[in-house]
Amino acid sequence: MKPVFMKYTKADIVNFVVLLVIGFLVIPNVITTDYWYTSILIPWLCLTLAALGQNIVMGYTGQLSLGAAGFMCAGAYACYNMMLRIQDMPFLGALVLSGLIAAGLGIIFGLPSLRIRGIYLMVATLASQFFIVWVIDKFGWFKNYDVSGSTTFQKININGVAFTSGHMMYLLVAAIVVVITLLAINMARGSTGRNWMAVRDMDIAAESMGVSLLKTKLQAFAINAFLCGIAGALYTYTYLKTVEPFAAFNISLSFKIMFMAIIGGLGTISGAFIGAAFILLFPVVLNAIGNNVFHGMIDATIISAIEQVVFGGLIITLMIFEPLGFAKLWETLKQKVIRKKS
């Protein structure tokens, strides 16, 4: 496949245009209920961003890390404080800056990766999860001394346009996700991504080829934290709106993001999208099926318990039959169809 434009092949561009049309023309026109935007599409896109970061550090660079929620928390509160304390702070500027602040924290909490690896590194990175959330909760300054312990985030306003309806916020989040995904694809396919994967597959050989382990690992941690920071800010500003740090950014969110990366497919960009959709939407789908099909026949509490069992069972089955996740599954299906055609 020859590249047509820069290094993108024809198929890349077709996919990109189709997704843009669906995301920015079809969905805003077809879906009118606010519920879909505020409860499904927006959290999905936000968590996709975090899963993308997790995938870069875990899937591409091979550094197990578990602390995405900590960086999300840092990003959210950095954005909140900048909007609060700096006059006329543009929201997008604050968003990027809070990403950078999270990236700085990412470098600090990524330092253990230079010495330890694997499961031990994962435990060490848990520090970010506990430490950041604890600091923000402990020191009232971060929450602007709110006595209730929770924080209500400001309304988004860009150049006089208020982003308050689910519809508008969806468009904003989707635009940011598109830009960041493009940047991530460029990195993953370029020399940066190759360095990441070289460190993942054989670090000694990578070092002998001149790839600096220190730089590459910390770079991956920084990019991961940057994406998580932005994801966290968007997550709070567009989805949660009122936040209590310990409740919103707990360890189960970190785990969720890690599972999104794994189930979607480690070392793929599309995997972040599919994984986030699966983890987030499947319980909703199961719930709808449970309530509509078995309504009245079985007790509601039992239905919700069965949902959990089915969900867990599905994850186990997937991991047994396709350990490389949904992205790989999709790839094999596509190739089978192409082979059948020819």
Please report, as ranges, the residues that interact with another protein according to CB under 8 A: 6-7, 183-184, 186-187, 190-192, 194-195, 197-198, 200-202, 204-213, 219, 223, 267
Q: How many whole angstroms from its chain centre is CA 112?
A: 23
**Burial group, residue 234, by CB count within 10 angstroms (0-12, 13-18, 19+):** buried
Q: Which is nearer to another protein, 204 or 297 (CB)?
A: 204
The minimum distance between CB 6 and another protein, in angstroms, equals 6
Q: How far is the CB of 22 from another protein (least distance, A)?
A: 24
Contact 136, 246 (CB under 8 A): no
Q: CA dist 184 to 60, 115, 179, 220, Å?
A: 11, 27, 9, 11
Q: Which is nearer to another protein, 129 or 192 (CB)?
A: 192
Name the residue nearer to another protein (CB basis): 172 or 198: 198
CB 15 → another protein: shortest distance, Å? 18
- Provide the CB-side half-sphere exposure for 256 (13 A, CA): 24
Question: Whose CA is closest to 322, among 275, 258, 269, 255?
Answer: 275
8-state DSSP, 154: P
Shortest CB 35 distance to another protein, Å? 35
Contact 323, 265 (CB under 8 A): no
Least spacing, CB of residue 310 vs another protein, in Å: 32
Taking the least distance from each CB to another protein, the nearer of 192 and 254 is 192
Spatial distance between the Cα atoms of 57 and 112, rounded to a whole number of angstroms: 14
Nearer to another protein by Cβ, of 59 and 275: the residue is 59
Look at strands 161-163 and 3-5 and give their pairing: unpaired
Residue 94 or 103: the one with the smaller Cβ distance to another protein is: 103
Whether 127 and 109 have beta carbons less than 8 Å apart is answered as yes
Measured between alpha carbons, how far is 236 from 214 in angstroms, rounded to an integer? Answer: 33
Token pair of 205 as six digits: 């050989």
Closest CA to 166 of 21, 288, 84, 45: 45
- Strands (E) located in 116-195: 151-152, 156-158, 161-163
**CB of 215: closest distance to another protein in angstroms?**
9
Beta carbon of residue 184, minimum distance to another protein (angstroms, whole number): 8
Residue 327 beta carbon to another protein: minimum distance, rounded to whole angstroms: 13
Which residue number, 45 or 187, has a Cβ lying nearer to another protein? 187
Cβ proximity to another protein: between 38 and 195 the closer is: 195
